[in-house]
Amino acid sequence: MGDFTLELNDDQKGVRDWIHGFAADVMRPAAAEWDEREETPWPVIQEAAKIGLYSMDFYAQAFFDPTGLGIPVAMEELFWGDAGIGLSIVGTTLAAVGVLANGTEEQIGTWVPQMFGTPDDVKVAAFCSSEPDAGSDVSAMRTRAVYDEAKDEWVINGTKTWATNGGIANVHIVVAVVDPELGARGQASFIVPPGTPGLSQGQKFKKHGIRASHTAEVVLEDVRVPGSCLLGGKERLDERLARAREKQRNGGERIKNAAMATFEASRPAVGAQAVGIARAAYEVALDYAKTRVQFGRPIIDNQGIAFTLADMRTRIDAARLLVWRASWMATAGKPFTAAEGSMSKLYAGETAKWVTANAMQILGGNGFTREYPVERMHRDAAIYTIFEGTSEIQRLVIARTISGLPIR
C-alpha cells in the first residue's frame, strides 16, 4: 500500500511556525491601528522584507513546493494574523503570478524583482483587470491596447478599478483588449514600468474591510509601453489570436484569456486566506466561550454555543482540505475537471463569512465592539465572497464544468 499523509513535512512546519511568529508578534499588534488609518502599512511590509518574508525568493520557494502546499500554508498563517495587512504583504503576488503565468523568462527575470524592491526600499505591484463596467464579465472590458508598429510600442487607454496597490505600485500589470471582435479571447496583459507617463491613480476606495490594503482606480491615458512589455511577446500573441479567430469561425472550445489564467492560478491561495481569517475568529470565540461565565458556568457548557463551535471547526477543516486538494492538483498538473480551484475559493470564502458572523454572536455585545478583533475579522471576511470571482461566479464555473453546458 502506498504512503499517504496529510501531515506537513518538517520544512513546511518550520516555515509555518516562522510565519505564524511574524503574524503573532508583528501583524496582530499593528492590525487595529492600520485598519483605522486605512493606509498601506509600509513599516510592516518592510519588517516582512527584512526577514525575507516579503521577497521574490520566498514566494518562488513556496510556489515550487513539490506538494503544492507552500503557498496555502503561508497564506493561512499571514491572514490568521490580519487580513488587511496580509493583503498588503501578498497583494504583489497577483501581479507576479500574472507575469509567471503569461510572461517569457526574460520578462520574469526583469520585472518580478522590481515588484518587490529591496528591504531598504520596498515596492509593491498591482494587477489591473476589473473595470467599472467589466468585473465578472471580462468580455465587457473596454481598455484598449493598440500596436504602433513604427515605434514597436503599445498605446493603452482605459480605466481600471478595484486594483490592489493601484496607483502606488512600482509595476502595474494591465489587461487590455487588442482585438475587440474576439471579445474575451482578444485580450492580452501588459507590463507598465515605473514612472510611465499617462498612468495615474484615480479614486481610492474607502472599504468596509481589509482597510489596510490600498484599493484604487488606475487611469491610463495614452500610456505607451515598449513592445517587450507585452506579456509572452508579439509572436505568441499573434498565434493565439489566429487560433481564436479560427475557433470563432468554426465554433469550438473556449480559449482562456490572460486574466482568467491568472485568477485560476490564484483561487486556492485566496481560499487559504479565507481559511486563515476563519481560523482566527474561531480561536477567539472558542477561548471566549471557555472563559465567559453566565448563570454560574462557562457559556461553552451550553449546547447552542458548543455545537456552533463544533460546526465552525468542521467547516474550517473542510475548507482547508479543499484548498490543499486544489493546490496539490495544480502543482501535480492535474486538470480541474470539476472546477476544484473554484470549489476551494467558494467554500472557504463562504466559511469565513459564516464563522466570523457566528464568532461575533458568541461574543455577544463584545463581538460588536472594536475592543475585540472578531468585528474586524467579520468585515474582512466579507470580501471573500466578492473579489477574484464572486460566489455566484464560482458556482457558475463549477456548474459549467461538471455539466459541460454553457449555463448562464
Q: Where are the domains of the chain?
A: 10-121, 126-250, 258-403
Average pLDDT over the chain reads 94
Q: In b/e form, how buried is each residue of 373-407, taking b as 16+ CB within 10 angstroms?
A: bbbbbbbbbbbbbbbbbebebbbbbbebbeeeeee
Residue 253, pLDDT above cutoff 80 = no
CA distances (Å), origin 161, targets 99, 107, 209, 240, 382? 20, 25, 17, 27, 19
**pLDDT (mean) for 169-188:** 94
pLDDT of residue 4: 87
**Cα–chain-centroid distance for residue 75?**
10
Q: Give me the percent of the chain exceeding a pLDDT of 90.
A: 88
* CATH annotation of 258-403: 1.20.140.10
Q: How far is CA 169 from the centre of its chain?
A: 16
Q: Is 388 a catalytic residue?
A: yes
Question: Does the pLDDT value for residue 254 go beyond 70?
Answer: no
In tens, the pLDDT along 179-219 reads: 999 988 899 999 999 999 999 999 999 999 999 999 999 99
CATH class of 10-121: mainly alpha
pLDDT of residue 140: 86
- In this predicted model, which residue has the larger pLDDT, 4 or 191? 191
The residue-averaged pLDDT of 211-231 equals: 98
Residue 251 pLDDT greater than 80, yes or no: no
Q: Name the catalytic one among 131, 217, 350, 388.
A: 388
User: 389 Cβ partners below 8 Å, 6+ apart?
Assistant: 136, 263, 267, 342, 345, 397
What average pLDDT does the segment 264-276 reach? 90
d(CA 17, CA 51): 14
Half-sphere exposure of 135 (CA within 13 A, CB side): 12
Tell me the pLDDT band of 283, cut-offs 50, 70 and 90. Answer: very high
Amino acid 264: pLDDT: 65
Predicted local confidence at residue 1, as pLDDT: 45
Residue 246 reports pLDDT greater than 90:
no
pLDDT value for 252 = 53
Lowest mean pLDDT across 104-108, 176-180, 301-305, 386-390? 386-390
With 0.85 as the threshold, say if the pTM is over it.
yes
Which residues, 6 or more positions from 321, have their beta carbon under 8 angstroms from its beta carbon? Answer: 6
Q: Tell me the sheet residues that pair with 301.
A: none
Tens digit of each residue's pLDDT (9 = 90 or more) over 8-63: 999 999 999 999 999 999 999 999 999 999 999 999 999 999 999 999 999 989 98
Q: Which fold has domain 126-250?
A: Butyryl-CoA Dehydrogenase, subunit A; domain 2 (2.40.110)
Per-residue pLDDT averaged across 327-349, rounded? Answer: 95
DSSP of 382-394: GGGGTTTS-HHHH
